[in-house]
Structure 1
Amino acid sequence: MPGHWLLARLGKRVLRPGGVELTRWMLDALRVGPGDRVVELAGGLGATARLTLARGPAAHTAADRDPAAVAALSALTAPGRGRVRAVGADAARTGLPDGTATVVYGEAMLSMQPEPAERRVVAEARRLLADSSGRYALHELCVLPDGLDPALAERIGADLSGALRVGARPLTPSGWSGLLAAEGFTVTARRIAPMALLEPRRLVADEGLTGALGIAGRALRDPAALRRVLRMRRVFCRHRAHLGAIALVARPAPTRP
């Protein structure tokens, strides 16, 4: 089982590398409001969708290829929240019409993709945005600093992949900016935060004290899950000096005549 689904099974709702604080910053920087048509790529279990819906957008569409995630996201379709729906689709091929969104974002997804797949997802975000007034954001793992020895970056990725049981390929901050630029975006805002997903203080901040205690209790009652969680935490701690979380907000660059 991939690490993020194991944590979800233990009750963890916020599965973003920069925690709910960086997600809130991202939504603030996107200026999501009542006039926006939002598309969320790889919406997961709906933690960010709830924050977005609280801002009252005109429409919110979440795409995820996992049936469990689609079921969780579909449960958010309540009256009085505007047009809300979930679709079972890959983030790189949503099947949604061109120009369907004014805001697109995705979190904790691109870091787990090889470069060609990363580019396809970002290109899909560009296709979905109606015009150059649209906004796109990502919230991902990053390796620090810019100019990090490529061999060390590769070793960090290998250690993360082994612990998370999913391919992990975080980029440097300039690498993430370069990916967006290559697909026709101009970065307008950036924030870097510590990657403290399994630190007690972050757990309480993201899940609340009751939620954090519940996660700990369920892990203690499941020795195999506890071993996995402790292994993930050891890898995060081992590379603490070079692991971070990054959020970038960008606009489509004007097309040349």
Structure 2
Amino acid sequence: MTITPLPQHERDTESVAGHWLLARIGKKVLRPGGKELSKWLVSATTVAGKRVVEFAPGLGLTARLLLDEGPASYMGVDSDPEAVAVTRDAIDGRGDLVVATAQETGLETASADIIVGEAMLTMQGDSAKKQIVAEAGRVLGPGGRYLVHELCLVPDTLDGEVKTSIRKDLARSIRVNARPLTVAEWTQLFDDAGFEVESTELRPMSLLKPMRMLADEGVAGVSRIVRNLMRDADACARVLAMRKTFVTHDEHMSAVGFVLRKR
């Protein structure tokens, strides 16, 4: 059996993006709110019979959740051909995928009823965030839903210097220029693009905490991850550094889910 390589497989442990490093050591759930918040998103609106588009579907966990609900169609969009191949294997022919950016998907206007995006807007600068949300608005039909799962900073009144410090530490740790926003800032971004927030759900950002790991990966999955880390000292050092960053800023980081309706 041919094993599809993970994205950035050619990069060494020191330079690979944090989420793909976690995937490399066997972690299946890579979203800040874990499997629980992804399930909340999927259950927050009716998927059956709807045209669904997912931006950056990653390892395909949410794609499978969506497809199990019986949508009229499923289209995954990712700019990385290797990521597309991973998702294609995960969904086993039950949907379509296209290599394109979330800023310019190439999909027809008003061709979707639901768009899903998880843990990808956080990784973009301000301009790219606006472009992606605008593209979601273009592709959605009137009244369509945009389901978003991201990292956020809390509280809304958080000092600007603290925000900058958190963003710098995250960038150093995960090797991606992450720029999480407060709930109020996320809401403003969506409002400016013509979306109304129907519901918001906050969950702890416990990606590498033991209880979340067990809930997301199961005992066998956690055992696999531990074995892989024991065999790879460099990967272990990076994962521990990531966890230290998350713990250091635990008070001011959260996972957030939004159900948005296009006006």
Q: Tell me which interval the TM-score lies in, with the shorter structure as reference length.
A: over 0.9
Q: Secondary structure at the match of 1:192?
A: strand
Corresponding residue number in structure 1 for 2:12 = none
- Among 238, 241, 249, the alignment partner of 1:239 is 249
Deviations for 1:188-247, whole angstroms, at most 9, x for unmatched residues?
A: 010001000001111111111101110111011100000000000000000010010000
- Match 1:28 to one of 43, 48, 51: 43
Work out whether 1:72 is the aligned partner of 2:86.
yes
Contact residue 77 and residue 85 of structure 1 kept, 8 A: no
Segments of 5+ residues of structure 2 without an aligned counterpart are 1-15
Kindly report the root-mean-square deviation, in angstroms, between the aligned alpha carbons of the 2 structures. 1.0
1:121 is the counterpart of 2:135:
no
Structure 2 letter corresponding to 1:73: T
- TM-score, normalised to structure 2's length? 0.92
* Aligned residue type for 2:57: G
Deviation beyond 6 Å, 4+ runs, structure 1: none
Match of 1:149 in 2: 159
Structure 1 position 74, deviation (Å): 1.7
- Contact 2:153/2:252, CA 8 A, preserved across alignment: yes
State the shift of 1:18 in Å.
Answer: 0.2
Write the mapping of 1:1-257 to structure 2, written as runs, cut at 5 A: 1-33=16-48, 35-76=49-90, 78=92, 81=94, 84-132=95-143, 134-253=144-263
8 Å contact from structure 1 (residues 6, 225) kept in 2: yes
When normalised by structure 1's length, the TM-score is 0.94
The residue type paired with residue 149 of structure 1 is: D
Measured in 2, the distance between the counterparts of 1:56 and 1:153 equals 41
Q: Deviation per CA, 1:21-69, whole angstroms, max 9, x where unpaired?
A: 0011111113211x11100001112111011111111100001111221
Q: Say which SS state the counterpart of residue 178 (structure 2) adopts.
A: coil
Counting matched residue pairs gives: 248
One-letter amino acid of the counterpart of residue 31, structure 2: R
Q: Percent identity?
A: 47
Cα distance in 2 for residues equivalent to 1:128 and 1:227: 42
CA–CA separation in structure 2 for the residues paired with 1:243 and 1:127: 30
Q: Could you list the runs of 5+ residues in structure 1 that have no partner in the other structure? A: none
> Which one-letter code corresponds to 1:3 in the other structure?
G
What amino acid does structure 2 have at the position aligned with 1:7? L
